[in-house]
Amino acid sequence: VQPKSMYKHKRLAVVQPHSQQQSIDEYLSSHGLYRKFIAKDGSCLFRVVAEQVFHTQSLHLDVRKACVAFLRRNKDKFEAFVEGSFEDHLQQLSNPKEWGGDLEINALSIMYSRDFIIYQEPGRPPANVTEHGFKDKILLCFSNGNHYDSVYSRKFPAVAGICQAVLYELLYEHVFEVNRQTLRASVELYRSRKNHDSSSEEAILDSFGMWNTSGVHSGCSSLEPSEHGRHRVYKSARATNQIDDNVMKSLDPFVYRNVEFEVWVASRKEQHEADHGSAPGVHFSEGDQCLVRVEERGDRYYPAYITEIFTENGPVNVYVEEL
């Protein structure tokens, strides 16, 4: 199989507004599809491939390493698609923070015998950007000029939520030795809370200045427990204090937690707080994502991209998509 010509899907130079992100989710939902958020950094493409090929994002570094090795072995086939030094490109790609693009998509397609189908604009059909004729496909949603999310059937959150609940129940019952009655009571307690439709994923996203753009993403059940159920829940509340709120959510088969994305967002928030305490030592680069606060708009932080840096420790220009 020979690599196809590159740059078959349009790359946007600006950040897509929240409304367009919501539109693409609605468009996907109307076609029986669901967008799963992926970490918004250089790992996104490799996370998507790792998850859709090996069923776990934890192998994204291995997928990246394999991609670099494949490109190096097939330099004669891919070198023409790279401006400048091919070896320099591979060195940059070896950096876990480096974003993958069209060249890497072509290589990954051949490596794993899967064509890449990319959704990008609401109302427009997806593009088969590799066109190798493979039976298996990898479905992605492209946004913000460099980011990829996973695309699955709309049934995915419901099925995955059940599997997740079974896994957590087995883990907590047989490894951590929490009795089943306590586990069930924790699920009832989670469902009984007034704001149970607001998932912890949404709360984390909001705290970082990101938003869940569709109810599909939360995967939360709208079931209300009976009064008898409420009585049992509050009676058992003390027993469930040992169980973390996120674990309670994971034990509910009507809820799917996007654990990998939650962990990434939480880590970014922690890094932001650490950087905020040592701002003079922070070094940014053009294209980095950051949070900015506009004094006229209160204490809220807005997600932004750095567009220009004037001096090493001086001011920078940023692009704020919301403003």
Cβ atoms of residues 32 and 154 within 8 Å: yes
**Of 94, 125, 153, which closes a domain?**
153
260: left (phi over 0), alpha (psi -120 to 50) or beta: alpha
User: Is residue 93 domain-shared with residue 145, that is, in the same domain?
Assistant: yes
- 218 located within any domain: no
93 band by pLDDT with thresholds 50, 70 and 90: very high
User: Is residue 47 domain-shared with residue 166, that is, in the same domain?
Assistant: no
Instruction: Dig out the tokens for 141 from the structure.
Output: 């949603």
Q: What are phi and psi of 315, to 5 degrees?
A: -70, 160
What does the alpha-carbon distance between residue 139 and residue 123 come to, in Å, rounded to a whole number? 17
- Residues classed as catalytic: 41, 44, 147
User: Is residue 122 domain-shared with residue 192, that is, in the same domain?
Assistant: no
- 122 located within any domain: yes
Domain count, the chain: 3
User: Is residue 174 domain-shared with residue 258, that is, in the same domain?
Assistant: yes
Q: Is residue 210 pLDDT above 50, yes or no?
A: no
- 118 located within any domain: yes
Arithmetic mean of pLDDT over the chain? 82
Range of the domain at 188: 155-196+242-263
Tens-place pLDDT, residues 78-87: 999 999 999 9
Instruction: Dig out the tokens for 117 from the structure.
Output: 């189908």
User: Is residue 122 domain-shared with residue 32, that is, in the same domain?
Assistant: yes
Listed in sequence order, the DSSP H helices in the chain are: 18-30, 44-54, 60-73, 75-78, 86-93, 102-112, 156-170, 180-192, 200-207, 215-218, 227-235, 245-251, 259-277
Q: Is residue 105 pLDDT above 90, yes or no?
A: yes
User: Is residue 120 domain-shared with residue 65, that is, in the same domain?
Assistant: yes
Task: Report the CATH number at residue 86.
Answer: 3.90.70.80
User: Is residue 69 domain-shared with residue 98, that is, in the same domain?
Assistant: yes
User: Is residue 112 domain-shared with residue 126, that is, in the same domain?
Assistant: yes
